């Protein structure tokens, strides 16, 4: 819902995450990753960027090495 209807998010949505056993840092990281993906998708789509196979392989290795939270820290 955060991507499709962010204005409909409520404290109950965060509470559901906590009730599932996640802590505040995990919620923060999940929201940050979602926001980063939305930003990057809009930049790529808006600018008409196309990644070649070399970049896709490089990006996949970086993601495997540092994960999504690490990617957030790069920016």
The total number of structural domains in the chain stands at 1
Is 25 within a domain? yes
Mean pLDDT to the nearest integer, 26-33: 90
Is 37 within a domain? yes
Is 1 within a domain? no
Is 30 within a domain? yes
Domain that holds residue 58: 6-74
Task: Give the pLDDT confidence score for residue 51 in this predicted structure.
Answer: 87
Is 31 within a domain? yes
Mean pLDDT to the nearest integer, 15-22: 97
Residue 38 tokens read as 């939305």
Is 10 within a domain? yes
Mean pLDDT to the nearest integer, 42-51: 92
Residue 3 tokens read as 């991507």
Task: Give the pLDDT confidence score for residue 33 in this predicted structure.
Answer: 84
Rounded distance between C-alpha atoms, residue 46 and residue 66, angstroms: 27
């Amino acid at each position: 819902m955060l991507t499709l209807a962010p204005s409909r998010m409520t404290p109950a949505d965060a509470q559901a995450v906590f009730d599932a056993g996640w802590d505040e840092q995990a919620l923060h990281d999940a929201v940050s990753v979602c926001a980063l993906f939305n930003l990057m998708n809009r930049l790529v789509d808006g600018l008409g960027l196309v990644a070649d196979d070399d970049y896709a392989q490089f990006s996949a290795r970086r993601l495997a090495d540092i994960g999504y939270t690490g990617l957030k820290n790069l920016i």
